[in-house]
């Protein structure tokens, strides 16, 4: 099991992450977002590590509280968050709301691989690889 601490003083649950691309890697500040189907990375971040929109898999439109956002999906070389690493990880790339000083969101495309618990009172996220529940029908 991996434990990640987060700052209780912030309005959002921000977790550190790292992303690798063609020209290096970069540390990120991502919001833990169980309401986002995809893991989202800001366009400037993927540009900084050597990708551009021509590397996309598909164009996307995401509906958010801000309205429709246009972006694209992209497979990045490596992605690490909450103590776990994935290679050839697909992310959604689009602009995020300004004013939060974040690089993206850790969404369900990452989280669905794990059992996790957010302990808001103590500022900790416990994460372990998901296993099939032997008691489920």
Q: How confident is the model at residue 86 (pLDDT cuts 50, 70, 90)?
A: very high
DSSP 63-79: EETTEEEEEEEEEEEEE
Q: Is residue 93 part of a domain?
A: yes
Q: Is residue 136 part of a domain?
A: no
Number of structural domains the chain divides into? 1
pTM over 0.85? The answer is yes
Q: Is residue 68 part of a domain?
A: yes
Q: In what order do the strands lie in the sheet with 124-129?
A: 2-5, 124-129, 114-119
Q: Is residue 36 part of a domain?
A: yes
In which domain, by residue range, is 62 found? 2-129
Distance CA 103, CA 61 (A): 19
Is the sign of the CA dihedral 84, 85, 91, 93 positive or negative? positive
The per-residue pLDDT for range 39-68, each reduced to its tens digit, is 999 999 999 999 999 999 999 987 766 678
Q: Is residue 137 part of a domain?
A: no
Distance CA 107, CA 56 (A): 19
Please give the residue that has the higher pLDDT: either 33 or 100: 33
Q: Tell me, what CATH number does 74's domain have?
A: 2.40.70.10
Report the relative pairing of strands 40-41 and 84-93 from DSSP bridges. Answer: parallel
The per-residue pLDDT for range 88-136, each reduced to its tens digit, is 999 999 988 766 789 999 999 999 999 999 999 999 999 999 876 656 5
């Amino acid at each position: 099991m991996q434990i990640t601490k987060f700052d209780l003083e912030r309005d959002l649950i921000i977790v550190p992450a790292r992303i690798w691309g063609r020209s290096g890697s970069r540390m990120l500040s991502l919001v833990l977002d169980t309401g986002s189907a995809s893991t989202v990375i800001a366009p400037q971040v993927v540009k900084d590590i050597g990708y551009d929109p021509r590397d996309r898999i598909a164009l996307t439109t995401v509906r958010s509280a801000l309205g429709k956002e246009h972006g694209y999906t992209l497979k990045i070389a490596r992605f690490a968050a909450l103590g776990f690493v994935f290679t050839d990880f697909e992310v959604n790339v689009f602009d995020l709301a300004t004013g939060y000083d974040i690089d993206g969101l850790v969404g369900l495309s990452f989280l669905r691989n794990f059992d996790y618990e957010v302990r808001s009172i103590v500022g900790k996220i416990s994460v372990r690889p998901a296993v099939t529940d032997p008691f489920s029908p």
